Structure 1
């Protein structure tokens, strides 16, 4: 969703590095989120506060974006999808095995194919079905543990990782449907959805005893939250720059580096268990995602 696409030539290396920076931000975001939780700030409250700053910056740069967002009902669907993505991903990487969560999240191409069939009329071809089977085989390997009879989600973080990938796929499909909508309105809808839905989910969880109350303001966690918010903003700007200047297939491939950043950081800091089963299942999931990125675009057909 580029803010200012440019037709002028730019060195591809800079675009790739910009996308890798965005992947780095998301791949290591689990660590500051966990530090904030240690300070008493639940990841849902953290997400809500982090995106408040992003909303403020967007409105300062594009004052008319709010009116554009409120005036288009379809942007509320985008806000809901983006909000669910942030709720699920940020909560999952805080409470679960980081690599396992990221791998389940990267089932996104599977969900995207099904959603594009339903919402965009893009009927899957034979190769699409093979990629789906490859991804499903990978997730079955990741989810099947010695203590379980069936390869089903074993924890809250598993469910959140799967739901986050589905929501992210829906976000991408909605962005394609709304490609003629002004980009600042789309960006604001996504930031707004992340903040509003995180806050609402936190309030519901608070009433159920699943979420802790907001802690008293403290300089330490306020500075860390502000820093993470700026990192997300920088990552978003980098995404706009890179995605506007590279083919979508190249963008998808480069963004897979998030799995690498998450895996290396999680192994280094002891936040993941990389068994042979996870390696094998992860390889199948990543192969399916990479295959999806390399696949040629197909014309839109009726459902």
Structure 2
């Protein structure tokens, strides 16, 4: 029973994390209805998450050392947070999220230039497939070119590019700063999001500010959302540490299901035929990307291994043979 739970809980952790991200748009819209703009909401919730993470994992602060990659990660995370938050508040949630999920295209491009990963034919094909999904979703005879229809969709697109860049930079940082704890990378992500959103908020006109009677509720939602996002990030990281990356990327697509259901229940948003067709292409690109990278990371069998046994099995056989020889010697003595 315990072994089954050990194999199941990492998957459940990732699904919980995906569910949280699929629902987080709703409290953001609540804050917008109370008078908080998207950039201010992003700055305050990210700041609360950063402070909570630093207080919770304060002993890990000593593992942080200065590097320009941390600045780049903070900027990319800021673009991600603003794009997702602003797009979810002002646009159709499902369309914004599907544009956000064009990660196969951007990740392949950024990995080629930053991580020096070779851009394979499979990566190029998957990038084209995800872009074809976006074109299908955005194209209409009335609008002409298949471009995002409004600023919210542009925000979702830019947020997805920032998300892909953040993922690539996290890989780069783990190679460059291996002593840095994962929770401190999380703190850098939330801290960068708070700083970038604070600067951008200076250029966004503030509507009617929250009424005095609503300040308590606004503070409660901001702090609660920050704590939830920080905790959720740690839960997802624990799951990702125990689940292969290819499988984790498939599980994370559960976010699209939760988002579609919550947008239908809470906002009455129902995707049309073009959204379903384009979204299917984007999801298929993500699934195929996970499958391709799984095949690329499968270790080649060792031709020297006897009877095609894995290393652990070979070691067990060797240990049993050795033990039997020792017993034979004792019996002879």
Segment drifting more, 227-236 vs 104-113: 227-236
What stretches of structure 2 of length at least 5 have no aligned partner? 298-333
Moved more, 117-126 or 65-74: 65-74
Per the alignment, residue 289 of structure 2 pairs with 292
Partners of 2:53 and 2:67 in 1: CA distance: 18
Decide whether the 8 Å contact of 1:69 with 1:188 is kept in 2: no
Query: Contact 1:113–1:128 at 8 Å: present in 2 too?
Result: yes
**TM-score, length basis structure 2:** 0.81
What does residue 203 of structure 1 align with?
202
C-alpha separation between the residues in 2 aligned to 1:41 and 1:18? 31
Q: 1:45·1:214 contact (CA, 8 Å) conserved in 2? A: no
Which of 107, 110, 116 is the aligned partner of 1:112? Answer: 107
C-alpha distance in 1 between matches for 2:185 and 2:47: 16
1:58 and 2:57 are equivalent in the alignment: no
Q: CA RMSD in A?
A: 2.0
Q: What residue number does 1:193 align with?
A: 192
2: CA distance, partners of 1:271 / 1:105:
21
Partners of 1:140 and 1:56 in 2: how far apart?
40
Name the TM-score, length of structure 1 as normaliser.
Answer: 0.89
The 2-side partners of 1:173 and 1:293 are apart by: 16
Q: CA deviation at 1:69?
A: 4.7
Task: Give the match's secondary structure for 1:215.
Answer: coil
- Cα distance in 2 between the residues matched to 1:225 and 1:95: 18
Q: Distance in 1 between matches of 2:247 and 2:90?
A: 32
1:260 matched to which residue of 2? 257
2:237 aligned to which of 221, 236, 240:
240
Write the distance in 2 (CA, Å) between the matches of 1:162 and 1:47.
17
Max Rg structure: 2
* Kept after mapping to 1: 8 A contact 2:19/2:258: yes
Structure with more relative contact order (C-alpha pairs < 8 Å, separation 6 or more): 1
The answer to which structure has the higher helix fraction is 2
Counterpart Cα distance in 2 of 1:87 and 1:10? 37
